A and B are shown apart, each in its own frame.
Chain A
Amino acid sequence: MSAELAMLAVAVVTALACALPGTVLVLRRLALVSDAISHAILPGIVLAFFLTHDLNSPLLLIAAAGTGLLTVVLIETVSRSGLVGEDAAIGLVFSALFSLGVILVSRGAKGVHLDVDAVLLGQLALVPFDELVVAGHAVGPKALWSMGVILLANLALVVVAFKELKLAILDAPHAAMLGFSPAVLHYAVMALTSVTAVGAFQAVGSILVVALMVAPPATAYLVSRRFSAMLVASAAFAVTATLAGAAAAFAADVSIAGAMATAAGVQFALVFLLAPRRGLLWQARRRYRQRLEFAGRMLVVHLAHHEGRAEAAVESRPDALHRHLKWSHPFAQRVIRYAAASRLVHVAGPLLELTAEGRRLAHRLIAEGPPRPRV
């Protein structure tokens, strides 16, 4: 396996592993818990590292999962006391734990290689050179195997507890009433989030963990209406962001982790602007359409009012619209084009004339009167 391919494989597997718990976090409005966990696991990692002196030891994963759960429990305890808002509780807990971790690193890690840089930023470029050796054969990067296992664990949770997850996300009290335990599920998701975060931090760093856990699910949230669809879309967006980011990083020779986060953000921005039906452009187009449609109705009513009367020679001229309906000239032109295209009016020399269809619409609108407020 070439180094680039190995890096790419690790990145894609990591992104997929993050997208699954990330979807649950985004839906449960716990997105920032991923930020808290990915920082707060530092002291757990450091302590376990002091014990084992091996960054790939499974003890690190266990310690990190424990610290992650501790973080979640601490946040919940502090915010449940009613003295502190949940947002402040998150800020307090993770920074205290992270500070503890940084102090542990700088006090204890003399001569051992573990710096805060590496935790925050990750070192994807080093991943291909740390291969797993089984019976004398190199079988690929260790990180690929560990993230692969984590991905499978996340996938297993989502598949096995799909119904329970859906219920807990939509209506936790209802789930509890039916005899499911949203709390157990909640802590299972949190434990897996912690394990995923610690598995991923070596490869991509803790800040990118946040990007991978939040950005693809957030993008998927814009385009999907079902939990299952959102999971699939998150996974797909995770892969595209990873590939685009890695390609850009290889081409420009910049930080891969950073480029992946940036690509995830750009991808979100594109979907936010362009998504069918919900994107900003669609919203703007719909609003413009509605405005035009309404103006077209105003136009036919206006014409019908004056039709067949002496003043029609004045009122039915296009430039009268500017004065009487307070439309700008360009807008009036657009309305006329729209109404003509919809076969409501036709232009007869200098005057606008209603078509039979336009007349019918106008009389119906006049008969209906102004829309009544709905009770």
Chain B
Amino acid sequence: MLELLRDHTLQVVAAGAGVLGLTAGALGSFAVLRRQSLLGDALSHAALPGIVLAFLLTGSKAPLTLMLGAAAAGWLGTVAVGAVVRRSRLPYDSALGMLLSVFFGFGLVLLTVLAKRPDAAQAGLKTFLFGQAAALLRRDVATMAVLAAITLLLLLAAWKELKLLACDAPFGESLGLAMGRAEALLRVLLVVAIVIGLQTVGVVLMAAMLVAPAVAARQWTGRLGPMVALAGALGAAGGVAGAVLSSMVPRLPTGPTVVLILSVAVATSLVLAPHRGLLWRWLRQRRTRRAPHLDPLLMHLYALSLQHPDDPEHGHRLGVLRTMSPREVDVPAALEALAARGLAQRVGEGLWAPTWLGRREAEKALQREENADVR
């Protein structure tokens, strides 16, 4: 294992996947919050003709040249989608679907044009289709790292505008901030992140690199800053883990491995995260469903305790509580259940009182009811 980590190829691949995960996770947060997750998918497909055309025009396979081509095609694609959505009644998702498939189809045409050229220099362009992390070179990773650093710096520089864009764009508009420009910046950054990732995970899986870390991170925090940081960290960790795992197991491609690891992270977060998680929600629902009579009983105890303002923990007799409750309620058992939750206490033989916590809960419930009435 340790020996493996000293392996040069693995270091390069892991660094590449990590850089990609970091950038895609951070930028994907904004795409997910703006409900534009699939823009990334469309843009990564749309990048293909740009890459091939850049190669056809310059004859160079330098990463920066190809990336510029991809970025130009992605930019053209977003402009086209914007024009179609504004000037016709076609819905956004259909426009995206067309952008994705038509640009990609045109890219395929260009690839076959390229294949007919005698110099056969096109080998390697196909790695952009499916990604081939193992073929990453040190200079590729260096380019990726520089682009990632620029992207993240720009993200920080425009943080305030991008935050408003993600959370409440009309409010930002009303403050006089240039939301249109912020959106354009976000798209450019998204294209750069995609371009960073194409060579590693390929066109198809790029969407997951943007979406998965962001969705997972959203489960654990409700604030944008921590979410972006966590998404970046998750993306980077998933990238490195995927690279290491795929180098340990033969015939395990890197890109899909990274995506599956991130998918597991998403599933775990969706189920387990506190407050928002499905398990959490299920437990809360079960608690209220199983004991619908606990709340009324607590309210009775609270009402009785109000009769003794100077001694709120004065004991009340079981018989009184029985009379106040509907007949089918097993009052002693319900009182034990309240006690188990720390809301009621036995203060003597057959004598019960609310605890401090129980009184606070009851007050909160009353407050809620009042608010509901006002509404």
Contact = CB atoms under 8 A, between A and B. Distances in A.
| A and B associate | yes
Interface of A: 26, 29-32, 34-35, 39, 78, 81, 83-85, 87-88, 90-92, 94-96, 98-100, 102-103, 106-107, 116-117, 120-121, 207-208, 210-211, 213-215, 217-218, 221-222, 249, 252-255, 257-262, 264-265, 268, 272, 278, 280, 283
Contact of B204 (A83, A106, A120, A265): A120
Nearest to A99: B256
A298 B19 CA distance: 63
B83 to A, nearest CB: 8
A76 to B, nearest CB: 14
Contacts of B256: 98-100, 102-103
Given A31-B91, A116-B130, A210-B97, A255 B276 contact: no
For the side of the interface on B, what is the size category? 35 or more
Contacts of A217: 94
Contacts of B211: 88, 91-92, 95
Q: Is the interface of B mostly helix, strand, loop or mixed?
A: helix
B87 interface: yes
Q: Is the interface of A mostly helix, strand, loop or mixed?
A: helix
B159 interface: no
Nearest to A214: B97
Interface of B: 32, 35-38, 40-41, 45, 84, 87-91, 93-98, 100-109, 111-113, 116, 126, 129-130, 204-205, 207-208, 210-212, 214-215, 218-219, 251-253, 255-257, 259-260, 263, 266, 270, 276, 278
A222 B37 contact: no
Nearest to A33: B93
B257 to A, nearest CB: 7
A92 B204 contact: no
Contacts of A88: 32, 35, 37, 211, 214-215
A39 B257 CA distance: 16
A106 B253 contact: yes
A259 B252 CA distance: 33
A288 to B, nearest CB: 16
A32 B98 contact: no
A317 B146 CA distance: 65
B100 A258 contact: no
Contact of B98 (A92, A214, A257, A278): A214
A95 B208 contact: yes
A81 B130 CA distance: 32
B41 A35 contact: yes
Contacts of A272: 84, 87-88
B32 A222 contact: no
A233 to B, nearest CB: 14
B102 A35 contact: no
Contacts of A116: 130
B69 to A, nearest CB: 17
A207 B108 CA distance: 10
Nearest to B210: A91
Nearest to A269: B80
A272 to B, nearest CB: 6
B113 A254 contact: yes
Contact of B101 (A95, A98, A261): A261
Nearest to A87: B37
Tell which of A78, A83, A265, A272 has the most Cβ of chain B within 10 Å: A83
Contacts of B38: 32, 35, 87, 90-91
